[in-house]
Structure 1
Amino acid sequence: MLSNKQIKLINSLHSKKGRKENDLFLVEGEKSLLELVKSDFSVEFFVLAENQTDLLHELSLKSPAYIYIVSEEQLTKLSTLVTNQVGLAVVKQKQFNHFKINSPYTIVLDGIRDPGNLGTIIRICDWYGFKQLVLSEDCTEFYNPKVIISTMGSFSRIEFTYVDLPIFFKSHPEIKKIGAVLNGENIHTYSFPENAFIILGNESNGIREEIIDTLDEKITIPAFGEAESLNVSISTAIIADNLRRFILS
């Protein structure tokens, strides 16, 4: 049975302040829980709905963490979701304090504010095999529950760091900075350099001016219809696909 202290802890993890103070975050939903136990994240404990016998068996085989069983009604009250009929986990945050670029190409995000967009971008990076993500300091929080849910478990396979982008770029002068903008070179005919930071900007304003001024090259996803713009996560997927094609060519 969950104690009042544990219930209070779970509720505190709904807020950024609570997550930061406790160095913990929530993972919710069957897919994310199954991906979680395949990772090296440290789980404090699970909370499952009482009808989740198959999931209970699966998690108990793969994790030593204690599993609490509650009613669906209580689970939903504890969850950040409107309804949660499966379960959640309280998990220790990872901090990549010794983050070091280890790939020729790295996705860099400048001012991404929407948690759903960030979560989808994390999932896209995982799909295309880009295992590191660099975020400006004003990007939304990686461990936001909406971000974690949107990743569908991919959060467990991505290293990340939050940085002051101008300072970060100055510390990596050997890596070219390629920005996704509206007036760049057609990505369908573009030849990527041997190594690069691929930079995508804020949902409304794009890459900020101080970063635009430092770019080595600019790329554009050409439009063939009349839509005014593309969602930043869709743009990330298109760029990642073209980049992967270039690498394999």
Structure 2
Amino acid sequence: MTLTKKQIKLINSLHSKKGRSENHLFLVEGEKGLLELVKSSFKIQFIVLNEIYSNHEIVQDNSDYCFFASEIELNKYSTLVTNNFGLAVVEMPKQLEFHNPVGITVILDGIRDPGNLGTIIRICDWYGIGSIILSNDCTDFYNPKVISASMGSFLRINHLYVDLVKWLNQFPNVAKIGALLNGDSLHTYTFPKTGFLVLGNESNGISKPVEDLINDRITIPSFGGAESLNVGISCAVFLDNLKRQF
């Protein structure tokens, strides 16, 4: 089947946050993401594949809503620099309902870079963290660059955007652990069984209003001359140390 002008217009609209919000749809692009998507419970509106993959396993199981395009056309529709496989238009699931915290929940304060957010989503998936809470000024979870960087992990991570200060104040008895440069050593810190691990903005760290709510300030010890670590790398180091304890 060939795409209609209406479908092409819809795909192009999903390149922007406004378009995604208005349509409650987002894009999944590339072979890795699509292969994981079709095995998930996410509802797919339609799939567009490079016409050379007309006999691909994805088509066999989803033929009713598969469309085909040339590689040149596909790259016009895609947000990726190169996309020689395909893309899907997918419905956004309902946001996480968060009531009582269990285990460690990752909290993101002002993460702006889509690549960093996608990496953090993938890392949380690797370490079995099922939910993340994001401040309202974090980048869009469904930004195509976030989805691509997550390498399919977005399918398994629940998320919620909140006014972070108000939200954290709802849990006065839950430990709030801040990843800060001037904290105690992560290597000697004992994680609580339930708590919030707060990671801050790539340039400015945790915002002052959120930092004021932190109970435990911890840092990754430095043994060299680097000024700081990427927030995604920091997330992995914190979660690896956490999993060594539990």
Write out aligned runs for 1:96-245 (5 A): 96=95, 98-245=97-244
Tell me how many residue pairs correspond in the alignment. 245
Task: Tell me how far 1:172 sits from its aligned partner.
Answer: 1.4
| Larger displacement relative to structure 2 (139-148 or 209-218) | 209-218
The structure-2 alpha-carbon separation of the partners of 1:64 and 1:72, relative to structure 1 and needing over 3 Å to count, comes to closer
Question: Structure 2: any 5+ residue segments left out of the alignment?
Answer: none
Give the whole-Å Cα distance in 2 for the aligned partners of 1:99 and 1:68.
38
Q: Can you list the C-alpha shifts for 1:9-31, whole angstroms capped at 9, x where unaligned?
A: 00000011110111000000101
The structure-2 alpha-carbon separation of the partners of 1:59 and 1:160, relative to structure 1 and needing over 3 Å to count, comes to farther
The structure-2 alpha-carbon separation of the partners of 1:102 and 1:34, relative to structure 1 and needing over 3 Å to count, comes to farther
The structure-2 alpha-carbon separation of the partners of 1:53 and 1:64, relative to structure 1 and needing over 3 Å to count, comes to closer
Give the whole-Å Cα distance in 1 for the aligned partners of 2:100 and 2:26.
25
Conserved 8 A contact 2:96-2:158: no
Task: Tell me how far 1:59 sits from its aligned partner.
Answer: 4.7
Write out aligned runs for 1:20-99 (5 A): 20-53=21-54, 56-61=56-61, 63=62, 66-96=65-95, 98-99=97-98
Aligned Cα root-mean-square deviation (Å): 1.3
Using the size of structure 1 for normalisation, the TM-score is: 0.95
Give the whole-Å Cα distance in 2 for the aligned partners of 1:58 and 1:23.
23
Task: Tell me how far 1:195 sits from its aligned partner.
Answer: 1.1
Conserved 8 A contact 1:44-1:65: no
Give the whole-Å Cα distance in 2 for the aligned partners of 1:97 and 1:152.
21
Give the whole-Å Cα distance in 2 for the aligned partners of 1:227 and 1:30.
36
The structure-2 alpha-carbon separation of the partners of 1:90 and 1:192, relative to structure 1 and needing over 3 Å to count, comes to same
Q: Can you list the C-alpha shifts for 1:38-78, whole angstroms capped at 9, x where unaligned?
A: 21110000000011245x323532x4751001110100000
Question: Structure 1: any 5+ residue segments left out of the alignment?
Answer: none
- Provide the secondary structure at the position in 2 that maps to 1:178: strand
Task: Tell me how far 1:192 sits from its aligned partner.
Answer: 0.9
- Provide the secondary structure at the position in 2 that maps to 1:229: coil
- Provide the secondary structure at the position in 2 that maps to 1:160: strand
The structure-2 alpha-carbon separation of the partners of 1:65 and 1:18, relative to structure 1 and needing over 3 Å to count, comes to farther
Using the size of structure 2 for normalisation, the TM-score is: 0.96
Give the whole-Å Cα distance in 2 for the aligned partners of 1:11 and 1:241.
39
- Identity, % of aligned pairs? 58
